[in-house]
């Protein structure tokens, strides 16, 4: 060391040597206490220190994992780091090719709560609220970033903001907790209304139907393809979209877990074991092609509060989807590690299923934490479980490792061939590559593949690759509909509608006649969805077809929705022309006509963005206005204010509303203890910037955070309380509040 007289030079050499480090040392994480279904293996392929609170991953064209991380989420019970720019999107690398991540590159840093990402159009689409961004990628660096949507997600609680970013078969990108979809055409981004779906995570099956869920309903989905039932802006479907696919919400954890409102009836059993899902998220339709055949298109669901992953079996009836839990009394994957927090699932390029494990003690947002959970978290020290994160891989025992193709190096013929691959991830990426690269030279090969009855899944991908290339026509789609399988015919009918006006009406009549002759419930459903467009072109020819479909499926509400959704602008005339007495259809058309006259559209066409949920808004205002005296945990501050936690004045929401609005002076008794403070709490009524909704939001948060029973007050009641003045005209006294409660 005596030769290094300059400390700066010595430091530079140390940095240089560290940057040249070729070590592939990898962290070893124990999976003791984890149990996966027989016939499968579970491995940790990435973990801390490379990860901190990962929430979503995606694979690039080389098969590398990119991960969005939210280390600022719930580092303590107040969520105090939420607004700090400590999030990132990173590239995980396995340089020694042993299947375990040994290096990480930061692609984007200094992000605030990034929560979704997707490799599309040769770049990266990602969300950093309130924006949805797209950036091109050059040498693993972002270049030419553009704003796709400036109001994608309002800032606030990530539990209740858009996420997902999943490219579907139809070339549109869908989200959970959102009623918008996106795509890029000729370099221009398009945003379009769609059905509002789910809460956290979204997936699709081979047919293109969407699956999602929310906290207490582990699996929801649409019975039909996206946007089929919302073409009439004045009609709002109820039966075909956003449906609960199974009523079975039972979960089977292998140990007692800490859950919000565990005291409520039916949440825990006598052994403190969770009974039903309370934080279900991130469903995944397995399409990897590497698991045994009976696992194809099974839906796996994350249950992070129970430290497990659930498996559901799907049954397709032709006009609906039914789900059933694969097991009774057990789960596909369980763990006794309370840090195991699966929050996302992905199909991988190798056919494996990948689990994003946030591995965090607290996953519920602070705005929703009950007093019960806060105590449990403190006792179990779950709030100290931070700065962890894992990605797990589930694969079949002895699964053959197949090298991941570099899609950037593949030509059009190779990409078309990959549309036949057994792995849905590969098929999806091949289709997207053909569309993004606008491989027009592949059109003939794609058309030939659409006709290949030996490859039904490839037929669908080829059809939508042609759609993305702008290579469809009425005659081609008509031929596909006429000669295709049931699924292919359904998609051809969805795609043919824009071409109907320019088509020869005689050809359309012949096509409809042939489709009716198939006598297939799925074909009839999608024919029902377009028959309204044909009726608008020629009532004499096509009204009898609507009549036939209406009568044939009079007892199936989804057919009523399909028929009504295709009638756009002449509902009254269609109703008058209907000879059948399908009261359900007549009622739907009448309601649609009435809403059209009043210009009351389906809410998805009126909503511009998702507003912040009430408790999150209330929490922000509580911290800004109330916490300085009552304390962030509602315990009160000596000499300033009494506690809110467990207070009888919080349990009585009208009394609470009067206190917030008009203030309080003099002594007050809370839980038997008298607080004789020489201060008066001022009311918020004098602040003209605080609305009745703001007061309602504060009440929503305070009753949730500091009592065992969350409550709300209507805006009308708050307005009434606003006008209920105390005798002094200043603040209320405790006796006046008690007298009010007795009325």
Question: Is the CB of residue 683 less than 8 Å from the CB of residue 661?
Answer: yes
When pLDDT is averaged across residues 217-226 and rounded to a whole number, the result is 97
Q: Give the C-alpha separation, 669 to 352, whole Å.
A: 60
Q: Are residues 639 and 717 both part of a single domain?
A: yes
Question: What is the rounded distance in angstroms from the CA atom of residue 191 to the CA atom of residue 403?
Answer: 36
Could you tell me if 501 and 539 lie in one domain? yes
Residue 15's pLDDT is 35
| Segment 614-628 mean pLDDT | 81
Given pLDDT bands bounded at 50, 70 and 90, which one contains residue 486? very high
pLDDT score for 540: 92
Which pLDDT score, from 0 to 100, does residue 8 have?
34
Question: What is the per-residue pLDDT for 16?
Answer: 35
Residue 462 lies in a domain: no
Same domain for 254 and 116: yes
Q: Which of 417, 423, 427 is nearest to 400 (CA)?
A: 423
Q: For 539-578, how does the pLDDT look when each residue is reduced to its tens digit (9 = 90+)?
A: 999 999 999 999 999 999 999 999 999 998 888 888 888 8
Q: Is the pLDDT of residue 515 over 70?
A: yes
Residue-wise DSSP of 468-496? HTT---HHHHHHHHHHS-HHHHHHHHHHH
Give the position of tokens 């449906």.
Answer: 243
Distance of CA 256 to the CA centre of its chain: 27
Domain boundary among 580, 601, 622: 601
User: Per-residue pLDDT for 612 more than 50?
Assistant: yes
Residues 569 and 663 in one domain: no
Residues of the chain with pLDDT > 90, as a percent, come to 68
Name the pLDDT band for 3 (thresholds 50, 70, 90).
Answer: very low
CA distances from 285 to 67, 209, 312, 397 (A): 20, 10, 9, 20
Residue at 201 is within a domain:
yes
What's the burial of 552, exposed, middle or buried (CB within 10 Å: 0-12/13-18/19+)?
middle
* CATH number of the domain where residue 626 is located: 1.10.760.10
State whether 352 and 274 are in the same domain.
Answer: yes
Work out the angle between the directed axes of helices 505-518 and 539-552 (0-180°, nearest 10): 20
Pick from 78-87, 628-637, 687-696: least confident: 628-637
Record the pTM: 0.87
Same domain, yes or no: 630 and 489: no
What's the domain range around 294? 11-233+242-396
Per-residue pLDDT at 304 exceeds 60? yes
Last residue of a domain, one of 370, 396, 422: 396
Q: Is the pLDDT of residue 86 over 70?
A: yes
pLDDT tens-digit readout, 327-340 = 999 999 999 999 99
The pLDDT value recorded for residue 156 is 65
Residue 633: inside a domain:
yes
Residue 142, domain member (yes or no): yes
pLDDT confidence of residue 582:
84
User: Domain of 75: which CATH number?
Assistant: 2.120.10.30
Residue 437 lies in a domain: no
Give the three-state DSSP class for 451: coil
pLDDT beyond 90 at 740: no
Give yes or no: residues 541 and 620 share one domain: no
pLDDT at 286: 98
Beta strands in 597-664 (DSSP E): 663-664
Q: Is residue 44 part of a domain?
A: yes
Same domain (yes/no): 133, 274: yes
**Does residue 99 register a pLDDT over 90?**
no
Q: Are residues 229 and 277 in the same domain?
A: yes
pLDDT score of 676 more than 50: yes
Residue 531 has pLDDT above 50, yes or no: yes
Does the pLDDT at position 346 exceed 80?
A: yes
Residue 115, pLDDT above cutoff 80:
yes
Model confidence at 368, in pLDDT bands (50, 70, 90)? confident
Q: Number of folded domains in the chain? A: 3
Backbone angles phi, psi at 310, to 5 degrees: -100, 150
pLDDT at 514 over 50: yes
Task: Dump pLDDT digits (tens) for 122-163.
Answer: 999 999 999 999 999 999 999 999 999 999 987 667 788 899
Give me the phi and psi of 536, to 5 degrees please. -65, -20
Both 583 and 695 in one domain: the answer is no
624 and 589, same domain (yes or no): no
**What is the percent of the chain with per-residue pLDDT over 70, rounded to a whole number?**
96
The pLDDT value recorded for residue 630 is 86
Q: Are residues 149 and 102 in the same domain?
A: yes
Burial label, 212 (beta-carbon count in 10 A; 0-12, 13-18, 19+): buried
- The answer to whether position 465 is within a domain reads no
Mean pLDDT of the region 25-42: 92
Residue after which a domain boundary falls, among 396, 420, 447: 396
> What does the angle CA 43 – CA 47 – CA 53 come to, to the nearest 5 degrees?
120
276 occurs within a structural domain:
yes
């Amino acid at each position: 060391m005596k030769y290094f007289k300059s400390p700066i030079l010595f430091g530079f050499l140390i940095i240089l040597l560290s940057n040249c480090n070729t070590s592939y040392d990898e962290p070893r994480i124990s999976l003791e206490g984890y149990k996966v279904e027989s016939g499968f293996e579970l491995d940790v392929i990435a973990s801390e220190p490379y990860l901190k609170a990962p929430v979503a991953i995606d694979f690039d064209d080389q098969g590398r994992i990119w991960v969005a991380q939210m280390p600022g989420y719930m580092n303590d019970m107040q969520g105090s780091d939420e607004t700090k720019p400590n999030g990132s999107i990173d590239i995980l690398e396995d340089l020694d090719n042993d299947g375990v991540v040994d290096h990480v590159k930061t692609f984007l840093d200094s992000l605030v709560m990034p929560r979704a990402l997707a490799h599309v159009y040769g770049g990266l689409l990602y969300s950093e609220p309130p924006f949805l961004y797209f950036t091109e990628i050059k040498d693993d660096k972002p270049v030419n970033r553009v704003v796709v949507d400036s109001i994608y997600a309002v800032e606030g609680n990530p539990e209740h903001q858009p996420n997902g970013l999943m490219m579907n078969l139809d070339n549109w990108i869908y989200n959970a907790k959102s009623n918008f979809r996106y795509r890029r055409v000729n370099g221009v981004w398009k945003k379009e209304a769609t059905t509002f779906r789910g809460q956290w995570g979204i997936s699709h099956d081979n047919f293109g139907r969407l699956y999602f869920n929310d906290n207490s309903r582990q699996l929801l989905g649409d019975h039909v393809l996206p946007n089929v039932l919302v073409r009439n802006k004045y009609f709002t479907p109820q039966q075909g979209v956003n449906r609960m696919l199974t009523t079975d919400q039972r979960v089977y954890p292998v140990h007692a877990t800490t859950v919000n409102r565990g005291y409520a009836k039916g949440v825990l059993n006598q052994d403190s074991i969770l009974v039903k899902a309370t934080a279900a998220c991130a469903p995944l339709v397995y399409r990897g092609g590497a698991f045994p055949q009976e696992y194809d298109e099974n839906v796996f669901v994350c249950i992070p509060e129970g430290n497990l992953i659930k498996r559901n079996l799907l049954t397709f009836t032709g006009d609906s989807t039914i789900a059933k839990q694969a097991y009774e009394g057990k789960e596909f994957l369980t763990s006794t590690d309370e840090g195991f927090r699966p929050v996302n699932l992905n199909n991988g390029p190798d056919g494996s299923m990948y689990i994003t494990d946030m591995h965090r003690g607290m996953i519920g947002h602070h705005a929703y934490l009950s007093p019960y959970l806060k105590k449990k978290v403190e006792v179990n020290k779950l709030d100290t479980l931070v700065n962890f994160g894992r990605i797990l891989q589930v694969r079949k025992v002895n699964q053959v490792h197949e090298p991941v193709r570099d899609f950037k190096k593949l030509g059009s013929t190779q990409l078309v061939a990959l549309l036949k691959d057994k792995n849905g991830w590969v098929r999806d990426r091949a289709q997207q590559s053909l569309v993004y690269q606008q491989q027009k030279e592949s059109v003939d090969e794609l058309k030939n593949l659409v006709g290949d009855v030996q490859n039904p899944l490839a037929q669908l991908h080829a059809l939508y690759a042609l759609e993305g290339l702008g290579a469809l026509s009425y005659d081609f789609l008509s031929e596909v509909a006429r000669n295709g399988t049931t699924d292919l015919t359904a998609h051809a009918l969805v795609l043919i509608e824009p071409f109907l006006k320019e088509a020869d009406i005689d050809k359309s009549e012949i096509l409809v006649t042939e489709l009716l002759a198939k006598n297939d419930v799925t074909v009839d459903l999608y024919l029902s969805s377009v028959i309204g467009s044909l009726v608008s072109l020629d009532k004499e020819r096509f009204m009898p077809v609507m009549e036939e479909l209406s009568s044939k499926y009079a007892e199936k509400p989804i057919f009523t929705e399909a028929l009504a959704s295709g009638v756009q602008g002449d509902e009254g005339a269609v109703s008058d022309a209907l000879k059948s007495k399908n009261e359900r259809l007549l009622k739907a058309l009448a309601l649609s006509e009435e809403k059209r006259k009043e210009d009351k559209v389906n809410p998805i066409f009126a909503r511009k963005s998702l507003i912040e949920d009430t408790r999150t808004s209330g929490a922000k205002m509580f911290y800004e206005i109330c916490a300085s005296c009552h304390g962030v945990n509602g315990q009160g501050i000596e000499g300033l204010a009494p506690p809110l936690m467990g207070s009888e004045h919080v349990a009585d929401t009208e009394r609470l509303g009067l206190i917030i609005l008009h203030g309080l002076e003099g002594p007050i008794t809370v839980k038997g203890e008298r607080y004789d403070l020489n201060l008066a709490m001022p009311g918020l009524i004098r602040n003209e910037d605080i609305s009745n909704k703001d007061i309602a939001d504060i009440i929503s948060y305070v009753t949730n955070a500091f009592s065992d029973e969350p409550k709300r007050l209507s805006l009308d009641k708050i307005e009434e309380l606003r006008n209920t003045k105390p005798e002094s005209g200043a603040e209320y006294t405790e006796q006046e509040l008690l007298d009010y409660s007795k009325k």
